[in-house]
Amino acid sequence: MNILTILRWVVDISIVWAIMYLLMKNIRNNVKLSLLFKGILLIFILNLLATKLKFETLGFFLQYVIEWGPIALIVIFQPEIRTILEQIGKTQLLGRHKVLTVDERERLVYDIIMAVDQMRKARIGALIVIERDVSLMDYINKSTNLYAETSSELLVSLFFPNNPLHDGGVIIQGDKISCAGAVFPTSNNLKINKRLGTRHRAALGITEETDAIAIIVSEETGRVSIAIKGELYYNLSIDDARILLIDELRPKQESFEEEFDEEEDV
């Protein structure tokens, strides 16, 4: 019975830990929900301070917010809550980018950067989205499926102005181009520069809802930008874009091992 009790506790705690891990991971990948989580955490900290310091008015107000806040949050943030539940269902235990070898990952980045550099010089607009842990199959299913080897020549041809698919985005899974002509949700962030076009807003939109990486080439200016986790790295040089892609596509375990080796060398 003691062994069964211990096993029951281990399984129970493991399930709770797995649920909390998935929730926290998907909250982190969703910009809106991560801000909401920080706000809730701040309210609880203020409530604790109000109780300790005996701020009766502030404590009464915060207690009222804590009691009725969950109902208001469910009503106001219903779309975001639905999104995170969908993301939990779409999250892959092992993203395709993680199974790439170092050579395959470097080749992928090389082909993307070569295409981006050519399109930048020719002022060809482009939107390239790289899938990571959160599946993008919903967007792939609604676009033109390709599943072709990634190459700079193919990427440039897909975004060429006379190509019927040039207005949409390209999705890369692992080192394969899964589709072209994909349509993504546009960001409603009011802080976005009004001069930024639809491609930039779509790149921010998909990175706010998933952990994907979005590379944008501006048709008007030829500037290269990369969106990650709802943040836009605007007007990057080709070298900066290459370094950022390599760093973001590198598995965390590999990054940790490299940092550990560097500390040992020091």
**CB contact set of 151 (below 8 Å; sequence gap of 6+):** 111
124 three-state secondary structure: coil
pLDDT-based confidence at residue 66 (cuts at 50, 70, 90):
confident
Per residue in 189-240, pLDDT (tens digit) is: 777 877 888 999 999 999 988 889 999 999 999 999 999 988 999 999 999 9
Q: What per-residue confidence (pLDDT) applies to 26?
A: 65
Please state which CATH number belongs to domain 96-253: 3.40.1700.10
Strand 176-182 to 144-149 pairing: antiparallel
- Helix or strand holding residue 158 (H, E): helix 152-159
Average pLDDT value for the chain: 82
Q: Could you report the per-residue pLDDT of 100-117, keeping only the tens digit for each?
A: 888 889 999 999 999 999
Question: Any idea where the domains of the chain sit in the sequence?
Answer: 2-90, 96-253
The pLDDT, as a whole number, for residue 11 is: 87
- Distance between CA atoms of residues 266 and 263, nearest Å: 5
Residue 145: what are its φ and ψ, rounded to 5°?
A: -75, 140
Compute, in degrees rounded to 10, the torsion defined by CA atoms 189, 195, 199, 200: -50
Contact criterion met (CB below 8 Å) for 132 and 97: yes
pTM: predicted TM-score of the whole model, two decimal places: 0.67
Q: Is 97's pLDDT higher than 70?
A: no
Q: How far apart are CA 209 and CA 29, in angstroms?
A: 7
The DSSP line for 204-243 is: HHHHHHSS-EEEEE-TTT--EEEEETTEEEEEE-HHHHHH
Question: At residue 24, does pLDDT exceed 50?
Answer: yes
